[in-house]
Amino acid sequence: MNISKDIYYIGVNDYQIDLFEGQYDVPNGMAYNSYVIVDKDIAVMDSVDAHFTQEWLDNIEKTLGNRKPDYLIVQHMEPDHSGSIEAFMNKYPEVVIAASPKAFLMMKQFFGVAYEERCIVLEEGYSIDLGEHFLTFIAAPMVHWPEVLVTYDKKDKVLFSADAFGKFGALDVEEDWACEARRYYFGIVGKYGAQVQKLLGKLVDFDIQTICPLHGPVLQENLGYYLDLYNTWSSYGVESGGVVIAYTSVYGNTKKAVDLLAEKLKTKGFPKVVVNDLARVDMAEAVEDAFRYETIVLATTTYNADIFPFMREFINHLVERGFQNKTVGFIENGTWAPQAVKVMKRMLENSKNLHFIDNSVKIVSALNEESLAQLDALTEELCK
């Protein structure tokens, strides 16, 4: 696939994988992207997962013919992108490898060698001149590992963005970009919003016409859409009006309250109501929704003097990723000593800019007149 006259896609699709990073369901597989810039000198941009080394090396040979690469640019050392470095360096003994100082430390850890005799150590602002293509390197620490660089090609105005602007899914699958990019972002990068904001601030100085990420499709049209979404996500802003109700229910009574609340909100004309059963939904999807919408209602039971495990896991995911700037409502259920609201509020107490709805709902075993009235009050306050 041609990205431009001189830039080619040489990555691979992975349909063998079931869980990315051991936890994220990827029913449509993954893409491990790699690119090659063919100029007076030739630069390969990142490698691929070790399971696909030979396919990747074959792609390089098919693209270059009799020519050999001069540089391997390593932007990110996560094994899905660095797993084939050693095989590449063995196959091309004249190649110079270029990466950040921390990346070379990680190479030593992963491979036992840091290629000291054939390396260029890159810092912020360093550049490599390939002939017509002039590469400038931009430090992007903690987006989402500490060694990360991104690379700007001045000639074709291409940003090689490492894991930024990536998504789940192989490249030969047609699907909405935002859905799987959002799930990818909040699952993997979401904790590092401040660092993404810093990178976006640096990119303002560059005329970017194409974004080449390490996962997902090459982005060449309507780049403002993708940049705006990344700005919203990384600043923990509200992407969509609406409410997500995240719940657990043991015997169905909490579920009845949740379903009734959802019905009431829809009747009141609430713009969007999403309901997630945390015991059954993909947890990464539930986390994505929590960050996407402006309002969230947490509904669960008191369980072993705490809260139901799936709710505890969910809130831990939110807090770990810097959950903030939301309106939060609560529903609790308990046959004796209900205290789920107190536990949930305590778990969220260090999160920034959360507005807790005054009217919470306390169910004692099953809905009754009192808890139904509380549900009405919660509905009215949410609609304000």
One-letter amino acid at 248 equals: T
Quick one: pLDDT at residue 153?
A: 98
pLDDT in tens, 58-111: 999 999 999 999 999 999 999 999 999 999 999 999 999 999 999 999 999 999
Quick one: pLDDT at residue 239?
A: 94
- Give the pLDDT mean for 162-185: 95
Mean pLDDT of all residues in the chain? 96
pLDDT category at 186 given cuts 50, 70, 90 is very high
Start-end of CATH 3.60.15.10 domains in the chain: 7-234
Q: Quick check: 371 pLDDT over 90?
A: yes
Rounded to two decimals, the pTM is 0.93
Q: Which residues contact 204 (CB under 8 A, 6 or more apart)?
A: none
User: Domain spanning 7-234 has what CATH number?
Assistant: 3.60.15.10
- Give the pLDDT mean for 286-315: 96
Q: Quick check: 350 pLDDT over 90?
A: yes
Q: Which CATH topology does 240-383 take?
A: Rossmann fold (3.40.50)
pLDDT in tens, 254-281: 999 999 999 999 999 888 999 999 999 9
Indicate the length of the chain as a whole number: 384
DSSP string, 119-140: EEE--TT-EEE-SS-EEEEEE-
Quick one: pLDDT at residue 1?
A: 81
pLDDT in tens, 222-246: 999 999 999 999 999 999 999 999 9
